[in-house]
Amino acid sequence: MHPRDPRSSQFRPGLGGVVLHGAAPLLGIVALALVMDLLVAPLLPEAWYAKVLADIGINIVLAVSLNMVNGFTGQFSIGHAGFMAIGGYTAAAVVYYGSIALWGDAGFHGGYFSYCGLGHFNGPWFGGGDLLFVAACLIGGLVAAVVGVFVGLPSIRLRGDYLAIVTLGFGEIVRILIQQTPGVLPPESAATVPAPGRYLHLGGALGFTNHPFYTTIFWIWLAVGATVLVAWRLRNSTYGRAFLSIREDEIAAAAMGVPILLYKVMAFTFAAFFAGIAGGLFAHQLGSTLNPADLGFAKSFDILIMIVLGGLGSISGAILAAAGLTILPELLRNPPHVWPLLVPVVPIALALLLYRRRRLARGWGILAGGIVLLEIARDLAVAHGVQLSDYRMVFYALSLILVMILRPEGLLGTRELWELWPRKRKGGAGVRASS
């Protein structure tokens, strides 16, 4: 068939297909959030683990969104915490000063799904505070996205290390600007300061305090679902492929008609939006004091490490690495034995050796050796009462060095988890029949 044949554009899917396509994933996201909130969180042995579950979710949002810039379009941004800070402070200001304007106090006005206090909650299912909180997070995301446009603009002229320096500088500028803001106004005197200036009372270096807490596992995992869905759909569309082509070769991408400047800035905008939402969620966690020092370049690096470790461009890799690197320090607090991992690893290594798969056997052998070393280190640390979590950064660095030596492209490279095992790929017969 001649590719310029006009008749091939007449395909229209049925209404049912559209509804299914549109609604099913949204229901799936809500279901994920509900399962995490109502099933997984209560089953955790200690309430404290719920905090880890929440952190995992926020880190997944951050990692998957940064992956849109660094993984999809191949730019090198290391200022992601700056967007998180902008979103977080915007959301906190909207919730705090909004609560004062609406209800005259800065207390909790949410419903069941926003309740993150201790003890039983016997309020309504939904409250006005829920709406305020969700709106605040979205506003935080939008403000961050607008800033993202301006941070993305230098990428027109800069690339690689130079863009990294610009984004690093951006993150630090945001942090320092927030540190210069005056203290949070108490509810009584908030009304005495005129509106635009009022919202700039963000607490400065002391941090934003006394705002109500709304962030629950439910909201976090709702955001996780939405972020992953958008990232996934974006990547598996013609726009996502255009983004990836910029990463692969800018000159060739432009010659194929990809507007690289526009798409680079768009990647920044998307990433900033979701980072802003993650910031809003981060800001309203139980007991949180929103402090600019927590949102400096160390946080940006944490997120960067996650996506590099997971494999730049891989969505499932970013999710896995975000979860793994969030759990790791918690495991180090009270390290479990690691030798049980040898039970599967050693036979696999031996079997590979037996079948003369030298390269694979070596990899698994290194893994077994690593487990032995970890076990020795763990036992020594426990015997001497060393708090391993103090050496969190050392383990970070070591694991990064190991990954960079053994798998320089990250755990999954640019692939997804389920693409690791070779199999018959779909997408052939059905589509070809229609062409």
Partner 1 sequence: MVSPLFELRHVSLAFGGLKAVDRVDLALPAGGLHGLIGPNGAGKTTVFNLITGIYRPDEGDLRLAGRRLNGLSPHRIAHAGIARTFQNIRIFAQLTVLDNVRVGCHVRARHTMAQAILRTAGHIAGERLIQADARALLDTFGLADHAQELAGSLPHGQQRRLEIARALATHPTLLLLDEPAAGMNPTEKAALKALIRRIRDHYQLAILLIEHDMSLVMDLCEQITVLDYGQVIARGTPPEVQNNPKVIEAYLGEPIPGASANPRAEGATRGNTKNAGTAGTAETRPEDHPGPEGGQG
Q: For partner 1, which is the closer residue by CB, 4 or 120? A: 4
Residue 261: CB minimum distance to partner 1, A: 7
How many CA atoms lie less than 13 Å away from 238 in the CB half-sphere? 4
Place of tokens 């030596």: 405
CB distance 321 to 415 below 8 Å: no
Q: How far is the CB of 139 from partner 1 (least distance, A)?
A: 20
CA distance between the termini of the chain: 8
Of 239 and 396, which has the nearer Cβ to partner 1?
239
Please, what is the minimum distance in Å from the beta carbon of residue 208 to partner 1?
32
- Minimum CB separation of residue 383 from partner 1 in Å reads 47
Compute the least distance from the CB of residue 363 to partner 1, in Å.
21
Closer by beta carbon to partner 1, 217 or else 258: 258
The neighbouring-strand residues paired with 208 are: 290
Residue 106 or 267: the one with the smaller Cβ distance to partner 1 is: 267
Q: Which phi and psi (to 5°) does residue 216 adopt?
A: -115, 170
Minimum CB–partner distance for residue 9 and partner 1 (Å): 6
Q: Which is nearer to partner 1, 9 or 192 (CB)?
A: 9
| Tokens (6 digits) for 172 | 């630090």
C-alpha 360/C-alpha 363 separation (Å) is 5
Helix intervals (H) in 256-340: 260-283, 297-310, 315-333
The CA distance from 135 to 87, in Å, is 12
Residue type, 301: F
| Residue 254 Cβ vs partner 1, minimum distance, rounded to whole Å | 4
Least distance in Å: CB of 32 to partner 1? 18
The answer to whether the beta carbons of residues 135 and 94 sit under 8 Å apart is: yes
Nearer to partner 1, 23 or 393 (CB): 23
Residue 250 burial class via C-beta count within 10 angstroms: exposed 0-12, middle 13-18, buried 19 and up: middle
Buried b vs exposed e over 72-102: b needs ≥16 C-beta within 10 Å?
Answer: bbbbbbbbbbbbbbbbbbbbbbbbbbbbbee
- Residues 195 and 5: their CA atoms lie apart, in Å, by 59
Least Cα distance to 304 among 52, 58, 53, 62 occurs for 62
CA distance 111 to 122: 9
Tell me whether residue 201 or residue 247 sits nearer to partner 1 (CB atom): 247
Do 201 and 183 touch, CB atoms closer than 8 A?
yes
Amino acid (1-letter code) at residue 312: L
The minimum distance between CB 251 and partner 1, in angstroms, equals 4
**Is 30 or 286 the residue whose CB approaches partner 1 more closely?**
30
Nearer to partner 1, 205 or 417 (CB): 417
* Distance in Å, CB of 259 to partner 1, minimum: 5
Query: C-alpha angle 81/85/88, rounded to 5°?
Result: 130
Q: Which residues contact partner 1 (rule: CB under 8 A)?
A: 1-4, 8-9, 11-13, 17-18, 21-22, 25, 156-157, 159, 230, 233-234, 237-242, 244-245, 247-261, 266, 313, 414, 425, 427-428, 431-432, 434-435
**Which is nearer to partner 1, 19 or 393 (by Cβ)?**
19
